[in-house]
Chain A
């Protein structure tokens, strides 16, 4: 075996690829960062599935600090299991599980070999794009609980929540219809183009066989073009019809961009039919089929989204599926069936599922995700607890007061802004353009008609139809979806996922940005304990654990919960000194845990939320629950304040006000409820501002919904984020300004390509008006102009992105 040249501190875990910083377990000459990773390796080795590591190096998911003990016990409850199953029979059950951590080909390989690991699993099939695993298993040999537990152990924890129990649909029918249309029109367009060739090479109509062929190809094209016009272009024709009706009824004065398009297509169809049936000469069939094909492809590009991300989550996907109940004959109950009077048991780190009264135990509830309040709240017996908080201390028992759907937190979802659909611009820009465009086209057609009427009346019909045909704004409608699609995928590569193309457009209109504080400007696991200082050994951790677990102080409880457990150590002379900390002798060595002044025996001052540790008179470091601001947050805000007015709404108390004052001035609100946040956005919008809201938690859900663009910031894009228009990976928070700037650039690129297509139109109309637009010229000119506009917009977008150093 070769000698490892890298220093020991940089050894990578064989399973997950993380640095083995705290621990380094050696097994089979391979390093592992934690026992969880080693367990997975052992399971795979026992089942001869080490090919997992051959496909991708360090393919595994880190299992550090994960503890699944008893977490999935509720799945053994029959009613809960039945709810999750897609199909049930005595010998075979089927279930569809959503597994967010699927990320590479090794995952596919392992999960589809799942039947080799667990006896009783019949087959497993993975949809990588949607990250869904469909499993069928024999309920006599294994159970859902066993399957889920093993999946979690392997690092593929399925997401099971209140929302997940409702089955998702397949491809939506509208997309499917569009795909069918593209298939049909593509088929017809290809054949029409081929059949048109003979005509372009000039038939000798004197010749009997040439004349037969000419007729044959002509009528063949006519037949093929019928589905193109009546099926493929039906949306445009209908859209134009409705828009005209609306205008006649004076309901709207917008001329939809469908009108000039439908006009162009209809002109092509009528003129070509006339040429075919009356003149028996070539029509513009290939131009028409190509045009409709391009338009449909553009439409398809427009609706491409990140379909593995979920933008429309409600509180339902935050709550667990089932909870342990006490006063029932069964052990677990579905959360949505909870009623007043049910007694539920909540363990450490579990969510409170419904508004309830504390019956038993000490509650230390972290509401940071729900309200934005960073400090965990202490509650004692008889207190009222709101749903959504996370229990940080030990086991508690609660008496449910209200069902989940009517709880204080979920009331927010009954607000108006959740009921109505958000306005998403799709063709607004093109529509604004189309108004002038349509009138101008008619004007030119009329002038051309009048001119030829007085000069050569035989050319009126041909020139007028040619003008209408060539003026069809196909390139115009295509540049928008293609540019925005490119922008979207550039954003996606930079971990900024927008819901659809309209969001990019809305982003360019923004003039005000509202930030949430907790979890947005600060890092989101702020309610959680973080250790700063000299790394501790397992023994030292056990020492700290043994002491803090005996103290009743809320901070001690938090630290104990963070450490989880520890080995048994010998504690003597345990002393809980009020207002200072704990002092004891462990294995003969003095240990102090608490305020810095007490631990270091000095007069230093500290924040309320720090727990310092010294062992054997050696100061080690401290635990803190102080929220930490994101890196470069100040630089970002300074940059944004040049072009936007910045606001801050926080559910937290105002203890950081002085730090934020220089950046936000007076535009700060603290202690805001979710409803107040929503109202604040509404107020800003009433003043005429276009608001972008950036938040992360359930408490921002209302504000995110109400604002023009709601951006959810997320540490893990697969994990829960409230319903929003875009998801931004928290690591790229500092690039937010670049994204907003780039969306403006793409809109300018679209406008530029509008200009280009106008130039083409002027050229085309020139030809058409002078009566020289033959079918061959149209067949070359029309697709070429369209393609060049598309290439221009996509190319420029990519170039600018490169120049701006966006990957």
Chain B
């Protein structure tokens, strides 16, 4: 049954990964504009391909 201890530690590490992802997103400015991405997804690129910045 000691496997549960290993699982708990593993679970914490996975969750910790998401915590790091949250930090990264905050630093990257993901939460600075919460409206335009919802519209941006609807924009179709029919003529030119957008350049990634």
Contacts and interface: CB of A to CB of B under 8 A. Distances in A.
Q: Is the interface of A mostly helix, strand, loop or mixed?
A: helix
Interface string A376-415: 0000000000000000000000000000000000000000
Given A116-B48, A191-B12, A183 B23 contact: yes
Interface stretch (A4-12, A125-133, A689-697, A782-790): A125-133
A216 B1 CA distance: 13
Contacts of B50: 123
Interface residues of B, number: 30
A213 to B, nearest CB: 7
B43 A183 contact: no
B24 to A, nearest CB: 11
Contact of B36 (A128, A136, A183, A212): A128
B10 interface: no
Interface stretch (A34-42, A105-113, A459-467, A762-770): A105-113
Interface in A130-170: 130, 136, 170
Nearest to A198: B4
Interface in B18-53: 19, 22-23, 26-27, 29, 31-36, 38-40, 42-43, 47-48, 50-51, 53
Nearest to B34: A129
A115 B43 CA distance: 13
B16 A187 contact: yes
A132 to B, nearest CB: 9
B29 A126 contact: no
A128 B40 CA distance: 11
Contacts of B12: 191
A220 B50 CA distance: 49
Contacts of A179: 26, 31
Q: Which of B1, B2, B26 has the most chain A CB atoms closer than 10 A to its own CB? A: B26
A127 B30 CA distance: 11
A176 interface: yes
Contacts of B15: 187, 191
Contacts of A195: 8
Given A112-B40, A176-B26, A127 B19 contact: no
Contacts of B38: 105
A209 interface: yes
Contacts of B22: 183
Contacts of B2: 209, 212
A752 interface: no
Nearest to A170: B29
Contact of A115 (B1, B8, B40, B48): B48
13 contacts: A109-B42, A115-B48, A123-B53, A127-B36, A129-B34, A129-B35, A171-B29, A171-B32, A176-B26, A180-B23, A183-B26, A209-B2, A216-B5
Interface of B: 1-2, 4-5, 8, 12, 15-16, 19, 22-23, 26-27, 29, 31-36, 38-40, 42-43, 47-48, 50-51, 53
Q: Which 10 A-B pairs have the closest CB atoms?
A: A128-B35, A128-B36, A108-B39, A105-B39, A127-B33, A129-B33, A187-B19, A108-B36, A183-B22, A126-B36
Interface of A: 48, 55, 105, 108-109, 112-113, 115-116, 122-123, 125-130, 136, 170-171, 176, 179-180, 183-184, 187, 191, 195, 209, 212-213, 216, 220
Given A108-B40, A112-B43, A183-B26, 5 more contacts: A109-B43, A127-B33, A128-B35, A129-B35, A212-B5
